[in-house]
Structure formats: structure tokens, C-alpha cells
A = this chain, B = another copy of it.
């Protein structure tokens, strides 16, 4: 039940990109900067950001002083959306996926015990991911920082 590196790095990068928006800072951030801050290979990260861009969640600016920025306000981008672009369906098995259902091959889907439980799991995960926006994450981060007395 693992999140891929691709998904992990993508989510991390999106969270970083959500921060300047909060501070009313210049929203454009370069790949290189994100890569350094999060310890990610810049080349690999590039592919990931590109995928997110093609999915319409990021915009970019080319040339000197260019970089990436969120296509919509941080409060309107959920972790679930990002996750699905990079890692595919949230559901542990295909037959309980809401967004991209496929039969799983069990003898009787209606009464399959595993399916019933995995349906619960998929709902639990989706509940969290689809109801947490990037803005929620940065808010939570700063709350923790304040509590610990860290400035930054």
C-alpha cells in the first residue's frame, strides 16, 4: 500500500508551490529550487511537474526568471487530484474504484468479503485525500511550526 516516489515528489512539490501563494510572494518557483529544498533529482522532478502541467494543475513560464506556479488557488487543488494524476486510482483493488472501475475476477462481486472491506478502505483514503486541499496542508504546517516555536 505504498505511495510511489513519483507521487511523493509530486505532492511535495505542489505543497512547496502552494506556499508562496500564501505569503503573496512571487508565485513562480524554479524546478531547481524545489529540487534542492526537497532533495529530489531535478531531472526526475521535471518529468513529474510536466505531467502535472499537462493535467492542468500547473502553469509554467519559460525563459529567464521562469518557473512553475499553481493553475488554480491552493484551496481548490486537492491532494486526491494530484495523487490520481501521478499514481492512478486511489482504490486498493480495481473493483472498488469509483473513478476507474474494473472487475477484479472474484466469483461473485456482490458478496465478495474482500471487496466489501476494501471498499471501506478506499473510501477512508479518498475521504482524506479528496477533502484536503493544498491550502489545508500549508495551514497545518504553519500551525505546527507555531506550536513548536519555529519561525521561518
A129 to B90, CA, bound (A): 16
Binary flags per residue of A109-131, CB closer than 8 Å to B gives 1, else 0:
01111101110110011011100
Q: Which residue of B lies closest to A125 (CB)?
A: B121
Number of interface residues of A (CB under 8 A): 47
List, in ascending order, chain B residues with CB within 8 A of A106's CB. Answer: 12, 38-39
Given known A-B contacts A1-B91, A3-B93, A92-B3, A114 and B137 have beta carbons under 8 A apart? yes
In the complex, the answer to whether A117 meets B141 with C-beta atoms within 8 Å is no
In the complex, the answer to whether A128 meets B124 with C-beta atoms within 8 Å is yes
For the complex formed, measure the closest distance between the CB of A95 and the CB atoms of chain B, giving whole angstroms. 10
Binary flags per residue of A77-92, CB closer than 8 Å to B gives 1, else 0:
0010001000111111
Is A65 an interface residue, CB under 8 A from the partner? no
In the complex, the answer to whether B114 meets A12 with C-beta atoms within 8 Å is yes
Is A105 an interface residue, CB under 8 A from the partner? yes
Is A55 an interface residue, CB under 8 A from the partner? no
For the complex formed, measure the closest distance between the CB of A127 and the CB atoms of chain B, giving whole angstroms. 8
Among A23-31, A41-49, A142-150, the stretch that binds chain B is A142-150
Is A33 an interface residue, CB under 8 A from the partner? no
In the complex, the answer to whether B144 meets A1 with C-beta atoms within 8 Å is no
A8 to B106, CA, bound (A): 10
The residues of A with any CB-CB pair to B shorter than 8 Å are: 1-3, 8, 11-12, 15, 37-39, 79, 83, 87-93, 104-107, 110-114, 116-118, 120-121, 124-125, 127-129, 132, 137-138, 140-141, 144-145, 148, 150
